[in-house]
Chains A and B, each alone.
Chain A
Amino acid sequence: MLKISGLQAKILSGREVLKGIDLNVKAGEVHAIMGPNGSGKSTLAGILAGKPGYEVTGGSVTYQGKDLLSLSADERAREGVFLAFQYPVEIPGVNNMYFLRAALNAVRRHRGEAELDAGQFLKAVRAKLKELEIGDDLLQRGVNVGFSGGEKKRNEIFQMAMLEPKLALLDETDSGLDIDALKLVSNGINKLRSPDRAMVLITHYQRLLDYVEPDHIHVLSQGKIVMSGDKSLAAELEKTGYAAFGDAA
């Protein structure tokens, strides 16, 4: 589904952050990318999602046979790429429900499906909330406005569930959560696991992986994947820390 080859990138008018990344993600797989702060995890996720501010200086990314990097951010999203933001953006004045319906209908149009009217959309929302066992308290508020850290992450998972992406990139969706919020979020992730959906979990801590079992784990350090393995790698990292990869954290 996703094939990253020799990807090199720099911050616009800044230094090189990704120094040759190779990664293969197949449908149905869950990959975890771990690594110390500043190793380039968010940069990788941002580049895959089409965030402005970076320059790809080498390598390629193929997604479902297409050159991912040639698509605009909104095209990528409509093609099924979803980025759960490490820091979801607050958008005052844009109602959460209004926003999500606009997004879902954009995706549906692209898939050749009929748009949902307000009633149909509300029904779909209710069903999804029930499935994920989350409340409806955030729906009528401005997008992420005044949400707590946990509420923001919950909102990301909810959006993911509504948009049903093919490739989900979750950037530190676990960080800053208390244990109940973490369970709620990982429950959501597990429910969305499916044979035709791939997930990339970016995380600094092993904690999330106690709840969501990845098929593969990669360690990113200073812009390179320095080690890959199965889920047992997480436990090992927990013991040794990232020190072996040149980081004090």
Chain B
Amino acid sequence: MSPKPETAPYRTAFDRHHPAGHDERREAALSRFETLGFPTRRDEAWRFTDLKKLHRAVFAPAEGAIHAVPDLVPWRFAGDAHRIVLVNGRFARELSQVGDLPKGVIFGSLAANPALIEQTFDPTDTEGGQAFTALNAALFADGFALVVPAGVHLDVPVEIVHWGAASGRSFHLRHLIALGAGATATVIETYAGQGDYWTNAVTTVRLDAGAKLRHAKLQDESSLAIHFAQVRADLASDARYESFVLTLGGNLSRHDSAVLYGGADATCGLFGAYLLRGEQEATNATFVDHAVPSCTTTEVFKGVVDERAHGVFLGSIMVRQDAQKTNANQLNKNLLLSPRAAVDTKPQLEILADDVKCSHGATVGDLDEEALFYLEARGIPAPEARRMLIEAFAADAIDQIEDDVDLRAHFVTQVQRWLGGGAK
């Protein structure tokens, strides 16, 4: 099959950095991308998305140069953290600050830990995955790696701030999070930037038996930017993967979480909130594969969509024949704040086992007029009353992060910043 024409600039960039025969796996991934090309509305996974936004420019991969970076404090987690900063897809040492880590823990740039790169590859890089997964596998230059050995509890969170500032360029980031048996960690990722760029991030998560990962992400990219992120998490028995994604930025964005249970009694919580305005379009997609018994999945996503923005939730839970005693609950609630705002929501359960507890639900509604009047009748000005109700709506998803007050506060602060007019 001949390559799709839109893929040519990526081949040019690839050939410059990866001479022929240099890396077969990257070569295979690029060929796959060339065959697939960009998705279209005919692809089920993308049928709600306006993909014209992807074609408005050629986003050649960014080269190494680091641009001036503004003060990142508005986006940063306020509590203690080991922090690294990546700029335009590459580690920025002078902006990073990692304290003393427990013995055996690795946290830093992926490129600086070449031995770990191997672990980030996944069959979906070259088969069965999205076009952007393949493109990422071919082109990624850097990302972060966190490795926590068995039994080690990382009490201080690790924070990764990505700043994008190369207009017309793409950043292909590859991240690895690997927790040994019984290890625990909290990862806080932030994506922000300036200009018209494209972030394409792929994260591989491997949790050994009994490991617990809390994975939080703030997507507050430039209002012109494109942001695609995929997380694929493999869970051994008794492991817990908890993810919270707050989507505030980007012109076109998508976050995909795929969770594969490999052992019994593992759990995952996939939570998120998206607050959109202007002409923003954002998708949250989840795929959870219950292939083994006694695993529990909880999903709560809340959307606030204003002006002409478009929010999409695609939730898919597969309960295979052997996955008895599965618990799976999926909820997506949306608030439409303007007559031209739109939401598409598709929660889906496919159940092939018989002894399971599963539920799913989706709602799309307006702000509660009665509640609004109640607040106003106490003297609270209408705009403030609206903000209070919107914040409360989003907080419902944030509150799913049950036992971490500081992390909840981080996201509440970000929501309040958005409500304050989105000034940045």
Contact = CB atoms under 8 A, between A and B. Distances in A.
Contacts of B385: 74
Interface string A106-121: 1100100000000000
B373 A92 contact: no
A106 B389 contact: no
B377 interface: yes
Contact of B379 (A77, A89, A91): A77
B383 to A, nearest CB: 10
B395 A93 contact: yes
Given A85-B374, A89-B374, A93-B392, A52 B369 contact: yes
B16 to A, nearest CB: 52
Interface in B343-385: 368-371, 373-382, 384-385
B384 A99 contact: no
Given A73-B377, A74-B379, A94 B389 contact: yes
A83 B370 CA distance: 14
Contacts of B369: 52
A9 interface: no
Contacts of A94: 375, 388-389, 392
B279 interface: no
Contacts of A91: 368, 371, 374-375, 389, 392
Contacts of A163: 378-379
Interface in A142-169: 143, 159, 163
Interface residues of A, number: 30
Given A102-B384, A103-B380, 10 more contacts: A49-B377, A52-B369, A73-B377, A74-B380, A76-B377, A77-B376, A89-B374, A93-B396, A94-B389, A100-B378
Nearest to A160: B378
B376 A89 contact: no
A89 B367 CA distance: 14
Contacts of A31: none
B393 interface: yes
Nearest to A89: B374
B371 A89 contact: yes
Tell me the interface secondary structure of chain B in the complex. Answer: helix
Interface of B: 368-371, 373-382, 384-385, 388-389, 391-393, 395-396
A224 interface: no
B382 A74 contact: yes
Contact of B393 (A83, A93, A99): A93
Nearest to B396: A93
A128 to B, nearest CB: 15
Given A93-B396, A106-B384, A83 B389 contact: no
Contacts of A107: 379
B420 to A, nearest CB: 15
Contacts of B379: 74, 77-78, 103, 106-107, 110, 163
Contacts of A73: 373, 376-377
30 contacts: A49-B377, A50-B376, A50-B377, A51-B377, A52-B373, A74-B381, A74-B385, A77-B377, A88-B374, A89-B370, A89-B371, A90-B371, A91-B375, A92-B392, A92-B396, A93-B391, A93-B393, A93-B396, A94-B389, A94-B392, A99-B388, A100-B378, A102-B380, A102-B384, A103-B379, A103-B380, A106-B378, A143-B374, A159-B378, A163-B378
A232 interface: no
A72 interface: yes
Contact of A106 (B373, B381, B395): B381
A92 B369 CA distance: 14
Interface in A174-222: none
A102 B373 CA distance: 15
Given A52-B369, A91-B389, A106-B380, A99 B396 contact: no
A49 B396 CA distance: 30
A170 to B, nearest CB: 13
A52 B367 CA distance: 14
A99 B373 contact: no
A49 B376 CA distance: 10
